Amino acid sequence: MIDIYGGNGRDIDTSFASHATIALHDGTVGHVVASQDSTFTMHNGHIQRGLEVGTRALVTIYEGQIDEGIVGEATLRLLGGAVNGGLNPGSVADWHVEGGEFDDLVAVSNATVTIVGSDFNYPYGPLPTSGTLTGTLANGDAVNATFARASTATITLPEPGAEGLVGGLLLLVGLARRRRQPARG
């Protein structure tokens, strides 16, 4: 496990190590690549040149700032922080958004995005292929973001009370994906 409590803009790339576990607690780093089978947790800090997440990676963001957006196919939980440059879940992404600030969401291919909160300008359930979402996320952050999705992708607003079930299922799906794949090495 690697814990980062400061930094000077260096890149972090887990593609060299299978099953890497990295936690950013504070400081500034450059571009972050959380590759297959890795775990990346952001408690605070600043990522200058975007976060790229690979298939079967587990990513949790509690706070901090990410410039140039998040892109990829991991199991991701966004619980807080600020993402400048948008959220861009890839073809097999499974993303769960309960907090944080973002202004753009583009889901491609078979991506699945669940946005938990209340007072949305859309009814609970699946969102249309494009629009602007406003409301309050589960942690109290306001959301005012444009979104677009492929016809095969889903962006869903679950009914209140279902978020605990959805979060638990998301974690189980992510763990199952990691266990199904043989270790490379």
Confidence of residue 184 (pLDDT cuts 50, 70, 90): very low
Tell me if residue 103 falls in helix, strand or coil: coil
pLDDT of 175 > 90? The answer is no
Closest to 38 in 3D by CA, of 15, 19, 54: 19
Greater model confidence, 2 or 150: 150
Cβ atoms of residues 89 and 115 within 8 Å: no
Give the tens place of pLDDT for each residue, 92-147: 899 999 999 999 999 999 999 999 999 999 999 999 999 999 999 999 999 999 99
Tell me if residue 11 falls in helix, strand or coil: coil
User: Please, where are the H alpha helices in 14-162?
Assistant: none
Cβ atoms of residues 44 and 60 within 8 Å: no
All structural domains of the chain with their residue ranges: 2-180
